[in-house]
A and B are shown apart, each in its own frame.
Chain A
Amino acid sequence: MSFYAIVSAAMPQLLYGARLTILFSIAAIIMATILGLIFALFKLSPFSVLRKIGEVYVHIFRGLPLLVEIFYIYFALPMVLPMHKWFDPYFAPVAGAIALALNEGAYITEIVRAGILSVDRGQTEAALSIGMNGFQTMRFIVLPQAFKRMIPPLVNQFIQTIKDTSLLSAISLSELTRQGQIVISTTFASLQIWTAVAVIYLAVILSLTALSSYMERRFQIDQR
């Protein structure tokens, strides 16, 4: 069989996997961004309890291999917490998405924190001096300026997240990598299928990159 025939026969299965890869990526990126924003604000909080919580979060989830975190949430946690019953029959995708989000969120915490700290202290002082409270100062003055500077490292992290979804194959989630393995197990066409898988990953990631450079340009023009 020709290269083309093998790949096109496998394509429906691979595209199904690609769809799941994209869905897991989107879910993980959204959750991780929310976690990152919350824990970054914790780490910059005047309250030492919140600061400690933020530090512990980052240390744990940045400090462990993602695969170990996935196994821990999927296999180990249900031993003490009946999570698999709460989310039955969707525990595998839920556990996978949570593990991804917690891990990427730890990195995003540091990205957001660095972005906030990069905004000149005078901006905060000026906002406070016209009577804004802490929330308004963050929301209207600091975060908009920080966000623009956070785009490049955030895009890096989002790309990392997309690639990391491949580890979900270890808990049998039929995302792109797992689908590739399944096809190969019956066709033995390693070269053809892994090439197709690689090309699909690249296509997904390059379209994210294109979107982000468009956003960056928009922000330069509209938002300064």
Chain B
Amino acid sequence: MLFSGRRRKVNLNAQSELYEHAVQFYVQPPLENISLNEFETFAVERLKLLKTIETLGVSYVKLSEQYKKKLESESKNLNFPYRSETDDRKIPPGGLSECEKRRKDHISHFILRLAYCQTVHNPYREELRRWFIQQEVDLFRYRFSELHSKQKLEFLHRNNLQYDAISAEEKSELQRELIDSTYGVSGITVEQQDFYKVPFQDALDLVRTRKVYLRAGYAYIPHQDIVTIVLNDFRTRLSKALALTARSLPAVHSDERLQPLLSHLSHAYVGQDYSVQKNVGKFSLEQVDSLSGKSFPLCMRQLHQSLRENHHLRHGGRMQYGLFLKGIGLSLEQALQFWRSEFVKGKVDADKFDKAYAYSVRHMFGREGKRTDYTPYSCMKVILSNAPGQGDHHGCPFRHSDPELLKQKLQVYKVPPSGISQILELVKGMHYQLACQKYFELTHNVDDANFSLSHPNQYFIESQKILGGGKDLKREADVPQRSQEAAGGLAEMSEDLDSFFQDG
């Protein structure tokens, strides 16, 4: 992207040539000049699209019918391209033509690159960068999957993506293995399509899920899964491009119109991160037991209970629970006391605790090592990363428990049978956060929780509001739900962004 004053008139013809295809590899940055207003709207709307992608990815199987339907309607709403054909005959009044949508797609992608490339030396920003790449990859996956096979081939040609197909002999020799290992192929489909042999590092998604045949370090990918390799290319290029963009950032930093906007954009993916401790010391350690029954989400309640029972938690549990407790306002001193007093009841004596565990508690509070102030885990993180293993109690109970055990647990916690079956139904549909929200509604006796759950600490705060934290409730109600109308001055603009990110 150019920030110097170079002007270039883009005529309509050139534009339609530039945006001839619905799916882009984003090789060329946009060269035209755009208004600050457009800059902001484009960026915010793409961010909104990426957030939708993230949410959909947790609630639905990627590329399932529902997933695609929702993504299509969100793309439509936000005026992003969603069809592979250009069809400009029916532009709704005030809407954008397909070509304009593609332009918006192009430009907004590059704006967010600017916002998310700054990660140097900061794990939190590093996580943001990874988040951005992941959502862009998922968006690309969806769009690529919507292309007809002819368009896909065209896309590969246009972008110079060539892969080696195996010979017919090799294919027939490996037929049984290919059928048994490749997702959704039968004898006939094996014969009909090409298989590409690529280093397994280029098809990690298929390797991870064991949906491909592996031999001697090579993955055998059927043409129908070629998207995997293309995606891998997309991811690698984007990752490299971000690193390059980061180097040119000083130029952007010196632009005082863009800098605050970009920094807002990049921070804005999880809403609140709950690392700011407003309530330090609000609760005493004696209250934790009763709070865990009343206001903790199930995951934390489960961790608390097993900590009390076993006087120990393994690393994954200590991190998930420890950071949550930090988020609800435990001070470092309280946290040390909390963990120590529980661990010494088990096999760990005070001396061993101080040597082996106290460090990690201080680490969580950013007092050791890299001195990063770690943020409590969001639902997304709990659900998607570091699944519990033998002896672990962390993770999301709705995601990581057997339905039968979950049912028993809910019965013990006196959730009414009708509620339990509703919850189990949601779990079956993989709507883990909705299941948790249902659990919230049932245990707090409200019909509609009135918030969209994305964080264990949010659960806690909402619960406290209902259980008598009237003060908090009022403060929150003062914040009006602002719309996204474009604002004039920059100060107002950032405020608007804030409100957008808060209700997201």
Q: Do A and B come from one complex?
A: no
B positions within 8 Å CB-CB of A: none
A positions within 8 Å CB-CB of B: none
